[in-house]
Chain A
């Protein structure tokens, strides 16, 4: 449950002679000479209130000067504790209040005894606590008052002894107080109390209800003004803007008619069920703030005010929920009894596309400060905007709409649904703003705009949006949600063409090299062929195949010699090979080996008789040495 902070509003009122542009403390009191003001049915407006300060538009300097001009808070004053019984003498069974007054902020009270010491037989119950500021020596002086309700069942003198509390962390002694209780009432003055007087006790949630806090005149017709009026309780809000103060004869719940100070405000419950509401306020003698109406005869006391904290007995409101049945379109939370004036148009003829203003005034005897405007119409033919919030004036509220006809095919403004709940009837009442006839002329528009407005006047059937159906198949698939270019294998695949191109390029370079160096190419090819041939030669020698050995040996010699001429190896004869040997070796062993091998193979090719090859196998060792020497020269 939200606990509202309810403070009796005290409208800011400047001194009569204060400059209007200056800032004046909200608590400005008029001091009047004691007099009897008998003003029958006369409205006394003391001063006009200051226009509201617009703090948002103030510069830093202005705010600083505003702060400096505010009265200082007196925190160094003496606490001056006082404890009294009000009234000091009562009869048995009568009510009294034990009141402690301190010149300190209420939050400065850091410790208060849980059980206030009390005389035997006297019952004390904690009551209201309040604080107000008084002006003294150019400073605002806080005054805190704590009330205790007293019940005295027997006659006698009861003493509440002095006790210690802590204020600002310092011990303060509350002086003793005495209450005399008489067995019989000799016509004693009763306890001064406030009276809480709601206009209705059975209300609906959200229904504003007037509520009066009365401060009845005493026996001498002396009326105490009230300040810091406060409503206590949960589940309601109070209207601070519609407070009225009045001194007038009222009929009290006891049936007696007496002049009283009336603090009239409104209260709006927002929680259903039983709401307990109590009130408290300080007597302020002849000091009051804001406007006040004085009717009839009243005595306003002279002298400095007493600033006694008075309380009113709680009252209970029965708050009912709004019925859900029968709720009408356009219900914006308005509760009460309303009437509507005829709606007014700012023009009776308008071109399509041009704005026209529609105003309608709502009237009620209750406050209309919480009245919400129904939303502007938005139809194919009309576009509407609500102009701000309702304009309040007395007991009227004016709704203003800007309407723009979208087509000339319309002859009246649209209906604006609006309804309210009537608590007297217990039902919703239709108060819709009716259509107002208007002549809409065609606009001088382009063909394209005309097409658009025609489209607006004849709305296309609204396309109903809904979830699509299910996909029948898997659709586009992928191995992973990770983008292809960020997957490792894709990057590896991209390397393949790079390697291919690199290989092709290297091959091209190699080919170009051999083309530029054919001699090297021939020698390399000769070395390769020689290695192959020597391998064949080795195999033939191991197999003891002398014929093959001789043929391979000759071929090897031809291959090893060919690059030096250059020539085709098979075209070389024995003499060609011998030329490659040093002169001295041609006639020795190496030359002899070459000649034997060539002779044997030539004899095989060209002689009719088969030559003998067996002895050639013995040449393997010198042949190998010879071939090694020839290979080294390649």
Chain B
């Protein structure tokens, strides 16, 4: 029975692996095509290529280059979203951060206002926080449970390590809350978009918002998002307002 299951998993892995390899290859080739188009001055084509690459495999470098291409093509909203996504995947990329600052200074746009736990969440990529939390959780659980199971006395170092793991676990919880709330942050894609009072096409217009304006999607209704901006709130479609997390 066990052997049969192992065989099944191995077979599935063999099936999936070529698909993963194909996606990686597509991401690489589109990335190189984008770089070539960018250097050739065709920024719209470069943006399309980088978008294809990011669709095949989300990568910080791809998003950084996508932001550059969109900015050069004059599309402020998509450029800011791409750079934010680059920082989302790799917060240590200084180039994307500087580009964002430059774009916001130029377009007179504000950065999203982050709470303290959201700021903490920007220190490391989301995967790192998840792994740290998981490891610390199981370290604590193992150190507390396994000695009992195996009828060993808990040593002092085991208890100290468990305390350390528990501290680490508790410290990562605000970061997870930050990641969760930050995943609702998004940006307006085009300039002069009407902010709707209701989630309908013929809705009354509250005001107009500019490209690159940051906001938070508080709830969804069909293809519409209720977005809260710094001074106003209203409904935008998901094409008009895109989230960093891509959801």
Q: Which residues of A contact B (CB under 8 A)?
A: 465-486, 490, 494, 497, 501, 504-505, 507-508
Contact = CB atoms under 8 A, between A and B. Distances in A.
B88 to A, nearest CB: 6
Contact of B61 (A466, A475, A497, A508): A475
Interface string B30-66: 0100010011000000000000010001111110110
A468 B95 contact: yes
A501 B68 CA distance: 49
Interface of B (DSSP majority class): helix
B61 A473 contact: yes
A471 B61 contact: yes
B64 A471 contact: yes
Contacts of A482: 183, 245-247
Contact of A508 (B60, B149, B244, B247): B149
B72 interface: yes
Nearest to B97: A468
Contact of A467 (B72, B89, B245): B72
Nearest to B138: A497
B82 to A, nearest CB: 11
Size bracket of the B interface: 35 or more
A475 B96 CA distance: 12
Given A474-B59, A474-B62, A482-B245, 14 more contacts: A468-B64, A468-B98, A470-B39, A470-B64, A477-B59, A478-B58, A479-B57, A481-B89, A481-B247, A482-B246, A483-B183, A486-B179, A501-B141, A508-B150
B110 interface: no
A486 B183 contact: yes
B151 to A, nearest CB: 8
Given A476-B60, A478-B89, A485-B129, A468 B246 contact: no
B57 A477 contact: yes
Nearest to B72: A467
B62 to A, nearest CB: 6
List the 8 closest pairs (A to B, CB-CB), nearest first: A475-B61, A471-B61, A468-B95, A474-B59, A483-B126, A481-B246, A484-B130, A476-B90
Interface string B118-141: 000000011101110110001001
B97 to A, nearest CB: 9
A501 B244 CA distance: 37
A508 B146 CA distance: 10
Interface of A (DSSP majority class): loop
A494 B38 contact: no
Nearest to A497: B138
A505 B149 contact: yes
A504 B60 contact: no
A470 to B, nearest CB: 5
Contacts of A480: 58, 246
A82 B98 CA distance: 78
A475 B85 contact: no
A469 B94 CA distance: 12
Nearest to A494: B134
B134 to A, nearest CB: 6
A376 B234 CA distance: 42
B176 interface: yes
B99 A467 contact: yes
Given A471-B65, A474-B28, A478-B89, A484 B59 contact: no
A477 B68 CA distance: 18
A505 B145 contact: yes
A484 B148 contact: no
Interface core residue of B28, B71, B149, B150 (most chain A CB under 10 Å):
B149
Nearest to A480: B58
Contacts of A479: 57-58
A515 to B, nearest CB: 11
A500 to B, nearest CB: 10
B163 interface: no
Given A468-B99, A479-B58, A481-B246, A474 B129 contact: no
